[in-house]
Structure 1
Amino acid sequence: MRTSAAQRTSAESTGTSTSKEQATWPQLLRVLRRLRPHLHGQRLLIAGGMLALLGEVLMRLLEPWPLAVVIDRLVPVVATGQGRDGLLHGVTLCALALGAVVALRALFSFAMTMCFALVGNRVLTRVRAELFAHLTRLPMDFHERNRTGDLVTRVTGDVGRLQEVAVTAALPLVGNLVTLAGMLAVVAVLDWPLALAAITVLPLFALLSRRSTRRIASVSRSQRSAEGDLAAVAAESLSAMPVITTYSLQERLQQRFSGGNEKSFRDGVKAKRLAAALERSTDVLVGIATALVLWFGATRVLSGALTVGELTVFLTYLKTAFKPMRDIAKYTGRLSKALASGERIVDVLEQRSQVRDTSWARPAPRLRGFVRFEQVWAGYPGGPPVLRGLDLTVRPGERIALVGPSGAGKSTLVGLLARFRDPDGGRLLLDGHDVRDLTIDSVRDQVTVLLQESVLFRGTIAENIALGSPFPVSPQEIVRAATLAGADEFVRRLPHGYETVVGERGSTLSGGQRQRIAIARAAVRRTPIIVLDEPLTGLDEKTEGEVRAALRRLTEGRTTFVVTHDPAHAADADRIVTVGVPAVAGPARPANTGPQMARRPW
């Protein structure tokens, strides 16, 4: 089935590892290093949160002492019956002090939670924005290797999980660890032999926690990957409902989805079982430590080394000090899932496009449309070259038809023009400038590619047309572009005209209407170079004639490349370039299989 192959592809392309031997701490540090630049602007909130954290820890340290004072004064009075008169006043003061300490601890805790929650939400909101922006700039071959549903899960689900766990689990755990350090210091001052008895279980807990955490993290990574594949299957299926319904594929796709769903379920149960085992083991260790302290502490009281009140403080501290151990056990599953989500986010952010601006790149001037390929070699990553030593010169305003069998290099040639990829060898010159000496955005702003599938975005027709221009577009310019594309007439007949909202991918419009809106979107760009990639495929004869006329108006006076399999569509080109036969697998040889030019044969 395709699911397993897709899982391997996704893991390989984004660098995700699901090895059970993978260490947790290096992965945590890797995620934190990626988040660190976003923390620089949050220093004031972080400082405020740390002060509130220290204040809460101080109140926790003070909280048992009023009770200890009461016990130490109450026990002699109960035992001897003397000194009852002043006892009530002292107890009242201790009760008020305890109330004040608890109130201050709650206030500090609230301030700490709000500061750290704001930091976490702000940082991860920026991470989500960075992740989305990075995804939109990654090359097409990355998106071809990865499934859309899985990438959407990384942007929404993985960032959301990291955001939620950072506030509800990680931050309380940090506070408890600081409290643990403070309490261990106080009890060591009170009675260091008793403190040693209390911490005897810590090495055993550290060993148990390390082993369990690594296993839970491994299972959580696997589960998160399975959830990403589930999202990919769901997105792929829901976007192809006409095909699914036509071919009655509901049962097959349900089986595919169920297989991934079961895997996610099994991984989830395993993670819960491991976390529950760690939590219960921790309870046992805490119980053993408490029993040791109770027995050894009682002997210390009987020997006069401790008072009953101090032992009470010690036991209270012990209960609070062991809370981080319970929290680690309780939150290990959630923290491991958050770490897995963080890894998936970082995996994408660390992807780098092979097409990047050089250090000397400069913005392209306004181009006239003079295009020259000089001994250009190019192919898909990891495959043999499909363009081998291409030499082609196109004058400004010239119309070139690219014909040839599938896989012969037509799309590769188009990708070079739009800088989806750069030549593996040779040079591509625009108005005499090597494209690698120009910034990517400035080149793409002057090249318009009209694809075979006219994709519209959910929004109004006016918004879809305006998306074609990198600059603000006036309503008059939108109408002029629609008129040039032959779309103005049918748009005005729609219920709300240019403010009519189209469905997802333009599903509420016909194929011809979508294509003419796409032509209008291309028209507002006013670029000197235009690429038409099979723009007439799938249209009926009448619609094809209307779209062909719109394309002629769009490309008039502009350097135009027409990619087509139909000789009739190439008939009105100034020249026809026949792209050679597809390259076969094997070592690349500089054979004479590149494009050949021919005068119009039809």
Structure 2
Amino acid sequence: MAGSLLAIIAEVFLRLLEPWMLALVLDYVVMPPRSGTKQLPIISSMEPLTILLWASVGLVVAVGLRALAVYASKVSFALIGNRVLTEVRGDLYRHLHSLSMSYHNKARKGDLTVRVIGDIGLLKDVVVTAMLPLFGNALVLVGMVAVLFLLNWQLALLALVTLPLFWLSTVSLTEKIHKVSGDQRRREGSMASSASEAFGSMQIVQALSLERSFLDAFSGQNKKSLKQGVKGARLAARLERTVDLLVAVSTALVLYFGSLLVLGGELTAGALVVFLTYLKNALRPVRDFAKYTGRMAKGVAAGERVLDVFQQEPDIEDSPDAVSAPQLRGDVRFESVTFSYEPGHPVLREISFEVQAGQRVAIVGASGHGKSTLVNLILRLYNPQSGRVLVDGRDIRDYTLESFRSQIGVVLQDTLLFAATVRENIGYGAADATPEEIEAAARLANAHEFIEALPNGYDTVLGERGVTLSGGQRQRISIARAAIRDAPILILDEPTTGLDGENARLVTDALTHLARGRTTFLITHDLRQVASADQILYLEDQRIAEQGTQLELLRAGGRYAALQAMAGGVRQAPVDGSSPEARAAGEPMGGEPPSTLSPARTGPGRRG
């Protein structure tokens, strides 16, 4: 920034110097001074051709040095703008990751992408090509106006007589341009969201022949964006032409009254030329402002959208006195937990239960009664409005988020894989995983064989969201990702839903190995999956309606028993490997230790 300011000061000085070369030629060569007029002693003693030569050389030198100064200032401003806004983009992306699920559940993904990529890109372009150069030109304006008053304050006042009109027209039109540009940026954000939604659901769109519906909706928004863009361009062009007219009026006034002063002998022709040149340079920032108004309005609108994200405060963050979580055992306790996404509409009410380390808990109930919300509270994706969630006897809000979540493995129904290699997708579970540990995790998840059969094995690049794999294959890679974390707490949210018999068997077998010795929470609608659980939590009306082992709930003859009767009482081999009869009798899970991928993998988030 210091270099930029020095370059601008040099540019201003050289701009002030340039017209004087022409003035010297006019006053001492073309029109020699009259006797008795004030002259410069050194210049008047020189031959006319010598003055012409030095003035010509001086003009070339001044213009060349000014070009270097302008180049230095533009490059410096470009570096400043790009570096700052690149950092802002990184901060914005980081801030979005820190925002809670309550924000992301409502935000439109395409619009957020436009803010991170498009709005920051537009802001960067406008700052580098318009705002920072205008700042430099503003310094030129101040310097030029100061010299104008030194040369002739009457002519300077005449030159500035149109400023009130310029201010009125600029304020009026700029406000309209800013509004149109803001509407256009919001419209483009909505278009990006619509496109992102369509692209992310292309299989459904084509299967249901919805192409025309999505195209019509997108075209409608696109046409409205076009109208707003044209309206903004018209307003910007109108402002430019208004400014051109006002500049012409100022120049005409100075030319007329300045010529009268020259004819009256009060001003030399060279001085008038210098004055007109200064006036032209001084009014250049005014012209540039009108020229860039439309772009700057878009930049301001983009900046407001970026600031809107920065002003969002995360609901879930580390408390000031949070500590790093030690190696967890896996004891989990809910104490009178109540939670709601919207005030006055609780999803969970007064939830209380306790799970010992290594136990398996099945969470069942109709959809919409808070099963997934309950495990999300364990992950601390949300904080309860009242009550506490404790792990190993301590409120999970006392732990830092990263150290706590790193000790929880998750396998969801909607398996999300990234557009990366198979090796990278599994390795996301543990940043420092070795190739051997990744392969061990894949073997545990029954995924090694099909991975080896892929074109490039573990180095095969998957499509976005893993669409190039079958559902069962995606799920087993997800299990491998959870396995490599080797966490003491495991959350399984409908892990076999939608899988055919063979894939369901392979996934269930992999989960059997993964769940051993870990505190496991299983959400399922398949009652055959819950027979081996140490505890069954039956949720209804946002509460735990029934709680106990399979045998206890069947003997109670309540809602769970009725559901089992409707399902035909069919049981399936349990995930932990013990017999259904033993689990139905309430036999607790044995103390078999969890599988360990490597003896060296110890520390927070891994079982040694």
Q: Could you tell me the TM-score, scaled by structure 1's length? A: 0.88
Q: Write the distance in 1 (CA, Å) between the matches of 2:532 and 2:548.
A: 14
Kindly indicate whether residue 526 of structure 2 is the aligned counterpart of residue 571 of structure 1: no
Count of residues in correspondence between the two structures: 544
Q: Write the distance in 1 (CA, Å) between the matches of 2:75 and 2:46.
A: 46
Counterpart contact for 1:77–1:84, Cα < 8 Å: no
Q: Deviations for 1:365-384, whole angstroms, at most 9, x for unmatched residues?
A: 11100000011111113351
Give the counterpart of 1:215 among 147, 172, 176: 176
When structure 1 is superposed on structure 2, of 296-305 and 387-396 the one drifting more is 296-305
Q: Deviations for 1:523-566, whole angstroms, at most 9, x for unmatched residues?
A: 01111111111111110011101100101111110001011122
Q: Deviations for 1:198-242, whole angstroms, at most 9, x for unmatched residues?
A: 011112111211221111111111100100111111111111111
* AA aligned opposite 2:77: F
Shift of 1:405: 1.4
Classify the secondary structure of the residue corresponding to 1:573: coil
Q: Write the distance in 1 (CA, Å) between the matches of 2:26 and 2:32.
A: 10
Q: How does 1:68-107 map to 2 (within 5 A)?
A: 68-77=23-32, 86-107=47-68
Classify the secondary structure of the residue corresponding to 1:200: coil
Kindly indicate whether residue 317 of structure 2 is the aligned counterpart of residue 356 of structure 1: yes
Q: Partner of 2:103 in structure 1?
A: 142
* AA aligned opposite 1:475: P
Classify the secondary structure of the residue corresponding to 1:502: coil
Shift of 1:571: 2.3
Classify the secondary structure of the residue corresponding to 1:63: helix
* AA aligned opposite 1:171: L
Q: Partner of 2:39 in structure 1?
A: none
Q: How does 1:60-209 map to 2 (within 5 A)?
A: 60-77=15-32, 86-209=47-170
Counterpart contact for 2:14–2:66, Cα < 8 Å: yes
Classify the secondary structure of the residue corresponding to 2:348: strand
Kindly indicate whether residue 453 of structure 2 is the aligned counterpart of residue 503 of structure 1: no
Q: Write the distance in 2 (CA, Å) between the matches of 1:596 and 1:308.
A: 101
Q: Write the distance in 2 (CA, Å) between the matches of 1:493 and 1:447.
A: 30
Shift of 1:84: 13
Q: Partner of 1:280 in structure 2?
A: 241
Counterpart contact for 1:459–1:503, Cα < 8 Å: yes
Q: Deviations for 1:152-171, whole angstroms, at most 9, x for unmatched residues?
A: 11111111111111111112
Q: How does 1:186-585 map to 2 (within 5 A)?
A: 186-469=147-430, 471-582=431-542
Classify the secondary structure of the residue corresponding to 2:335: strand
Shift of 1:572: 2.5
CA pair 137-84 structure 1, distance change in 2 beyond 3 A: closer
Shift of 1:85: 9.3
Q: Write the distance in 2 (CA, Å) between the matches of 1:430 and 1:453.
A: 26
Classify the secondary structure of the residue corresponding to 1:322: helix
Classify the secondary structure of the residue corresponding to 2:446: coil
Q: Partner of 1:22 in structure 2?
A: none
Classify the secondary structure of the residue corresponding to 2:160: helix
Shift of 1:49: 0.8
* AA aligned opposite 1:476: E
Q: Partner of 1:9 in structure 2?
A: none
Q: Write the distance in 2 (CA, Å) between the matches of 1:532 and 1:336.
A: 49
Q: Write the distance in 1 (CA, Å) between the matches of 2:84 and 2:326.
A: 38
Counterpart contact for 1:515–1:547, Cα < 8 Å: yes
Q: Deviations for 1:248-284, whole angstroms, at most 9, x for unmatched residues?
A: 0011001110111111111111111110110010011
Shift of 1:105: 0.4
Classify the secondary structure of the residue corresponding to 2:105: helix
Classify the secondary structure of the residue corresponding to 2:342: coil
Q: Write the distance in 2 (CA, Å) between the matches of 1:181 and 1:90.
A: 30
Q: Partner of 1:24 in structure 2?
A: none
Q: Write the distance in 2 (CA, Å) between the matches of 1:454 and 1:137.
A: 22
Classify the secondary structure of the residue corresponding to 1:524: helix
Q: Write the distance in 2 (CA, Å) between the matches of 1:503 and 1:571.
A: 37
CA pair 85-546 structure 1, distance change in 2 beyond 3 A: closer
Unaligned runs of 5+ in 2: 36-43, 555-568, 570-608
Unaligned runs of 5+ in 1: 1-45, 583-592
Q: Write the distance in 2 (CA, Å) between the matches of 1:423 and 1:168.
A: 48
Classify the secondary structure of the residue corresponding to 2:349: strand
CA pair 286-356 structure 1, distance change in 2 beyond 3 A: same
Q: Partner of 1:8 in structure 2?
A: none
Shift of 1:412: 1.4
Counterpart contact for 2:533–2:549, Cα < 8 Å: no
Counterpart contact for 1:448–1:531, Cα < 8 Å: yes
Classify the secondary structure of the residue corresponding to 1:501: coil
Kindly indicate whether residue 19 of structure 2 is the aligned counterpart of residue 58 of structure 1: no
Counterpart contact for 1:150–1:232, Cα < 8 Å: yes
Shift of 1:595: 4.6
Classify the secondary structure of the residue corresponding to 2:298: helix
Q: Partner of 1:41 in structure 2?
A: none
Q: Deviations for 1:107-127, whole angstroms, at most 9, x for unmatched residues?
A: 001111111111111111111
* AA aligned opposite 2:342: P
Counterpart contact for 2:334–2:390, Cα < 8 Å: yes
Q: Write the distance in 1 (CA, Å) between the matches of 2:523 and 2:489.
A: 14
Q: Partner of 2:2 in structure 1?
A: 47
Q: Write the distance in 1 (CA, Å) between the matches of 2:405 and 2:487.
A: 9
Classify the secondary structure of the residue corresponding to 2:410: strand
Q: Deviations for 1:173-195, whole angstroms, at most 9, x for unmatched residues?
A: 11111111100000100100110
Shift of 1:74: 2.8
Q: Deviations for 1:282-338, whole angstroms, at most 9, x for unmatched residues?
A: 011011111111111112222332111110000011111111111111000000101
Q: Partner of 2:549 in structure 1?
A: 599
Q: Write the distance in 1 (CA, Å) between the matches of 2:297 and 2:328.
A: 53
When structure 1 is superposed on structure 2, of 70-79 and 229-238 the one drifting more is 70-79
Q: Write the distance in 2 (CA, Å) between the matches of 1:495 and 1:85.
A: 86
Classify the secondary structure of the residue corresponding to 1:378: strand
Shift of 1:75: 3.9
- The higher radius of gyration belongs to 2
Shift of 1:76: 3.0
Q: Write the distance in 1 (CA, Å) between the matches of 2:338 and 2:46.
A: 101
Q: Write the distance in 2 (CA, Å) between the matches of 1:443 and 1:383.
A: 30
Classify the secondary structure of the residue corresponding to 1:351: coil
Q: Write the distance in 2 (CA, Å) between the matches of 1:199 and 1:283.
A: 14
Q: Could you tell me the TM-score, scaled by structure 2's length? A: 0.87
Q: Write the distance in 2 (CA, Å) between the matches of 1:436 and 1:465.
A: 28
Q: Partner of 2:583 in structure 1?
A: none
Q: Deviations for 1:433-454, whole angstroms, at most 9, x for unmatched residues?
A: 1111111112111112211111
* AA aligned opposite 2:26: I
Q: Write the distance in 2 (CA, Å) between the matches of 1:336 and 1:255.
A: 29
Classify the secondary structure of the residue corresponding to 2:485: coil
Shift of 1:520: 0.3
* AA aligned opposite 1:462: R
